[in-house]
Amino acid sequence: MENFVFSIPTVAYFGKGQIESLGSAIRRFGGSKVLLAYGGGSIKRNGVYDDVVKQLDAAGLPYAELSGIQPNPRLKSVEEGVALYRESGCDFILGVGGGSTLDACKAIAAAAGYEGEVMDLLDGTAEVSGAAPLGTVLTMAGTGSEMDSGGVITVGEDHKKHVIFHQELYPKFSILDPEYTFTVPQWHSMAGAVDILSHLMEQYFTPDCGTEVQDRMNEGLMKAVIDNTPKVLENPEDYDARANVMWASSMALAGFQFRLGKPMFPFPVHYIGHELSSLNDMTHGVSLALVTPAWMRHTMRKNPESTPVFAQFARNVFDVREADDAKAAEQGVVLLERFFASVKMPANLREADVPEDKLEYLAEKAVEHGELGILAKLDRDDVLRILKDAY
C-alpha cells in the first residue's frame, strides 16, 4: 500500500430535519450573506426551497438567488453566479440540488477568488486559491459532489466536460436529508445509483496494491447500493433505502478513500461516459451503465492478467461461487448487466439513441488527453471497440 493523506473537511449533517442546522452551519463557517444557487425548480415544487429560505430568514442571513442551473451544468451558469456573488456582496455559497448544482457552485466558489477567466481554472492554466466557502443541501444521491473536492462543468460547442479539483472546493458542510430525495424521478434516482456504483468500481478495478481495507469496505458499499436501489425503485419513499443510497453516494467519493494507497487515478469509464453526455446531454449515470460491461470485457481481453480482480468482484459482490477466474469474471459482468437492466437502464447505445456514425468521433474525443485506464491502457481503437460492443 502506498502512502497517503486522508482528510475530509466536510461536516455531514445526515438525516431527517437536519435542515434546522443550516443557519448555524453557515454562521460557523463565516457566512453573513449567501448566494443561494439551485437548478430548474424541483426544489420549489417539493418544498425544499421553502425549508431553506425559512432557515436563512430565521438566522437573519440575507441571500441572492441564482436559479436555472441545468443538468450537465454549463459555463454560463458559473459566470452568472460569479457576477452575482460579487455584485451582491455575498461571502458564502449555498448549493441546493443534485450534482449539477453543487458542481456549478464549486466552480463559482473557485472563480470568486480569482480575477481572470473562469476557464483558466477549468483548463488548469490557473490554480484554485482563495475559493469562497461553500455549503450544500443535497436533493439527489449519485455524484458524491456533496463530500468531494471536484466538479464537472460542460464547456464550448463540443460540450466538453472539464473537471475541476481542489482541496479548497470541499463543501464546508453538507445537509443530507434522505426525505429530500423522495421526489427524484425514477430515471434520475436509478442513474444516480449507477453513478455511485461506478465510482466504487472505478476505484476498485486496479492492480492489486495490497489495499485490503479499502477494497473490502468498497465491496460492502457496492453490495449496499445493489441491495437498496431496487427498494427505491419499488417505493421511492422508503426512508432507509433512500438513506443508504444517499450515504453511499457521499462515502463513495469522500476523499477518494477507496483509491487511497493505490498509486494511480483510474476512472476510464467516466472519461468515455462523459463523451456520451457531451454528444447528446445523456444523463451521467446512464452513460456509465452503457459503457461499463463492454469496458470490463475489453479490459480482460486486452490484459488477461486483469481477470482475477474482475473474478474477485464477481465473488465478493455478487456471491458467484465459480472457481475458474475467467468464468467467474464473466458471470460477474452478466450479473452486473442484469442489475442495470433491473434498474431500468437502456440495454445498449442503440436503445439510448446514440447515432452509430458518431462512435469514431466519441472514441477520438475520449482519448483527447491521452490513453485511458490502468488495468489495460486504452487508445482510440480500444475505446472504439468498447463503444461498438456496447452498441
CB of residue 74 to Zn ion, shortest distance in Å: 18
Find where cell 490557473 sits.
126
Residue 46 exposed, middle or buried by CB count within 10 Å (0-12, 13-18, 19+):
middle
Three cell numbers at 370? 491521452
Three cell numbers at 346? 437502456
Q: Which does 52 bind (CB under 5 to 8 A by kind): Zn ion, ligand NZQ, none?
A: none
Contacts of 365 (CB under 8 A, 6+ apart): 158, 160, 275, 278
CB of residue 183 to ligand NZQ, shortest distance in Å: 4
Q: Which amino acid is at 26?
A: I
Contacts of 161 (CB under 8 A, 6+ apart): 72, 152, 153, 154, 155, 274, 277, 278
> How many C-beta neighbours within 10 Å does residue 318 have?
19
Q: Which residue number, 365 or 385, has a Cβ lying nearer to ligand NZQ?
A: 365
Instruction: Please state, in angstroms and rounded to a whole number, the distance separating the CA atoms of residues 329 and 80.
Output: 48
64 backbone dihedrals φ, ψ, rounded to 5°: -115, 145
Q: Which does 88 bind (CB under 5 to 8 A by kind): ligand NZQ, Zn ion, none?
A: none
Task: For the chain, state the CA radius of gyration.
Answer: 20
Asked if residue 103 binds Zn ion (CB under 5 A), the reply is no
The strand pair at 160-165 and 150-155 is best described as: antiparallel
CB of residue 341 to ligand NZQ, shortest distance in Å: 20
Instruction: Please state, in angstroms and rounded to a whole number, the distance separating the CA atoms of residues 375 and 150.
Output: 24
Q: Which does 181 bind (CB under 5 to 8 A by kind): ligand NZQ, Zn ion, none?
A: ligand NZQ
**Looking at 101-109, 189-197, 229-237, 329-337, which segment touches Zn ion (CB under 5 A)?**
189-197
Asked if residue 219 binds Zn ion (CB under 5 A), the reply is no
Q: Which does 151 bind (CB under 5 to 8 A by kind): ligand NZQ, Zn ion, none?
A: ligand NZQ
CB of residue 163 to Zn ion, shortest distance in Å: 11
CB of residue 73 to ligand NZQ, shortest distance in Å: 6
Q: Which residue number, 188 or 259, has a Cβ lying nearer to ligand NZQ?
A: 188
CB of residue 40 to ligand NZQ, shortest distance in Å: 3
Where along the sequence are the contacts to ligand NZQ (CB under 6 A)?
39-42, 46, 71-72, 97-101, 103, 139-140, 142-145, 148, 150-152, 161, 180-181, 183-185, 188, 192, 195, 253, 270, 284
Q: Which of 146, 179, 195, 215 binds Zn ion (CB under 5 A)?
A: 195
Q: Which residue number, 77 or 307, has a Cβ lying nearer to ligand NZQ?
A: 77
Q: Please, which residues bridge with residue 38 across strands?
A: 96
Q: Which residues of this chain interact with Zn ion, rule CB under 5 A? A: 195
